[in-house]
Amino acid sequence: MLRTQPTKASMTFINYASREINCKIVYYGPGLCGKTTNLQHIYDSTAAQSKGKLISLATETDRTLFFDFMPLELGTVRGFKTRFHLYTVPGQVFYEASRKLILKGVDGVVFVADSQEERMDANIESLYDLEENLRSYGYELTKLPYVLQLNKRDLPNVVPPADLTAELQRKGEPVVEAIASNGVGVFDTLKAVAKQVLTELRKS
């Protein structure tokens, strides 16, 4: 099969007139792993002047239907405001088509894994789905800024971090243990991916 040459996905926007850099980060992972909870925590703990609205396209039962979105301003580098556009995808398997659309033009990805034993298969399936969807755009996960978050560490039936890492880590990416529902690890995750995105700009 003929495949397009994999490229690095950087679609960062640099605007000299408004002195802004805009980057897109996508939170990916299986249904109910806590992607929206990550965004909600970032939203709740950020000063009003640094953030825009948190848009949630969700079902009546608060499951993500299409995506959540929030713009976040981190600060200034070399006179340019750095703005990160944070997106989540819908995790449920049957939203495959929508999930793929959100990945277009992504600069960095966070994979939110659900640490519970019974969700291991769902994590693996979702990670394969991520790699496949990236490839369809000509991106390679191994070349993208990427962080693995092990979420829900507070629950009783969780897989040890070393086992989860052995199963889910793809390229030596940073692994962050988290309890997104009370904010543990949420900013560490964001920081880890944002740093890689900015470091990527140096290389491009």
Partner 1 sequence: MANSPILIREQRYHQIKALLARLRLDASARLVVLVDKDGQQIAVHGELGELDTTSLASLAAGNVAATGGMAKLIGEREFPTLSHEGERESIHISVIGRVLLLVVFDDRSSLGLVKLRSKQVSQELAQAFAEVERDSQASSADGSLPFGEITDEEIDSLFSQP
Binding of partner 1 at residue 199 (CB under 8 A)? yes
Could you tell me whether strands 80-88 and 20-28 are parallel, antiparallel, or unpaired per DSSP bridges? parallel
Is the Cβ of residue 102 or residue 178 nearer to partner 1 in the bound state? 102
Residue with tokens 């793809």: 170
If 0-12 CB within 10 Å is exposed, 13-18 middle and 19+ buried, where does residue 91 land? Answer: buried
- Candidates 14, 93, 155, 166; binder of partner 1 (CB under 8 A) is 14
Q: In whole angstroms, give the CA distance from residue 77 to residue 99.
A: 32
Q: In whole angstroms, give the CA distance from residue 190 to residue 7.
A: 23
What one-character DSSP code corresponds to residue 118? G
Interface of this chain with partner 1, residues 51 to 90, rule: CB under 8 A? 52-53, 55, 57, 66-67, 69, 71, 74-75, 77-78, 80, 82, 85, 87
CB of 133 to partner 1, least distance (A): 13
Is the Cβ of residue 50 or residue 157 nearer to partner 1 in the bound state? 50
- Candidates 63, 135, 153, 191; binder of partner 1 (CB under 8 A) is 191
Residue 148's closest CA among 181, 184, 185? 185
Residue with tokens 């099969």: 1
Residues that bind partner 1 (CB under 8 A): 7-18, 21-22, 24, 52-53, 55, 57, 66-67, 69, 71, 74-75, 77-78, 80, 82, 85, 87, 97-98, 101-102, 104-105, 138, 191, 194-195, 198-199, 201-202, 204
